[in-house]
Structure 1
């Protein structure tokens, strides 16, 4: 028996949408990878309970979405873990329960958590946001319920 659903909205950028086009793949093993990413996106919008990493460097391994350091920048990443290569889909909340997915990266390409690659991915996400939504702020908050109205747990 399924629990009651909740409403969440996920917008994806043109770049992420194009990544689902199999004609752009040089490695066709990516079909399973992107099928799982699509399932992860469905998990968000269909109202499943979402494990959330509120602390960038202190979160459970099974966090579905996590804030990127520093939290006051308002950048998050959906963590699509299986199959390898794991992906990180960077984006931001524009309002409670509404996430805008902007850019994706293979986790292996990001290096260690304090690497220049992580910082560059964060800055690229901010630049993409500012380009798409000039003058609009990303949602900022300190509490889980600033971002999720229901069905989210801190891990």
Structure 2
């Protein structure tokens, strides 16, 4: 079974959910799939916290930027240290609180978002909290795809069409 077939299977089994652009007439240049817990956050019923509901809507729009034909920039997408693990973050930073969505690439132009965390909970880049969220991203990946490895590269052009030249990795 190919990784594409495996993704389709995980969608059928409600383990992964596609992110689709909601804007009418929006082009779809890339694909993103989100794991169950992140999907639950994005689709939670409206509660009493209107500010959080607004922030979740803004996060959804930030994720839709990836699947649309917007250019991808280093301010939006970063490879986390160590690069050999292949864990990337989408940075939802325009609104507060800042949110990091972690994930990995099974193939070019396909991002699997595994988990998220508020940036304020993560501390410095070598903190225990950062290590824990990266470990969770890899654990969710293995749970979804077993022995299929993600693409490991620091060359953004091997992962994302329409990426702007820049430094996507600190190292």
What TM-score does the superposition give when structure 1 sets the normalisation length? 0.84
* Alignment correspondent of 1:66: 78
Structure 2: 5+ residue runs without aligned partners? 1-26
- Offset at 1:6? 6.6
Whether 2:128 is the aligned partner of 1:116: answer: yes
For 1:144 and 1:23, the matched residues in 2 are separated by 36
Whether 2:39 is the aligned partner of 1:29: answer: no
* Alignment correspondent of 2:141: 129
* Alignment correspondent of 2:92: 80
* Alignment correspondent of 2:65: 43
- Offset at 1:49? 0.6
8 Å Cα contact 1:22/1:28 also seen in 2: no
Evaluate the alpha carbon distance shift between residue 133 and residue 81 of structure 1 in structure 2; reply closer, same or farther with a 3 A threshold: same
Evaluate the alpha carbon distance shift between residue 118 and residue 28 of structure 1 in structure 2; reply closer, same or farther with a 3 A threshold: same
Aligned length: 141
Whether 2:171 is the aligned partner of 1:138: answer: no
8 Å Cα contact 2:70/2:162 also seen in 1: no
* Alignment correspondent of 2:35: 13
Q: Secondary structure at the match of 2:125?
A: coil
2:102 aligned to 83, 87, 90, which one?
90
For 1:142 and 1:17, the matched residues in 2 are separated by 27
Please report the RMSD computed on the Cα atoms of aligned residues, expressed in angstroms. Answer: 1.7
8 Å Cα contact 2:157/2:163 also seen in 1: no
- Offset at 1:26? 6.4
For 1:9 and 1:41, the matched residues in 2 are separated by 10
What TM-score does the superposition give when structure 2 sets the normalisation length? 0.76
Show the 5 A alignment for 1:95-106: 95-106=107-118
Structure 1: 5+ residue runs without aligned partners? 53-62
For 2:139 and 2:39, the matched residues in 1 are separated by 18
- Offset at 1:143? 1.4
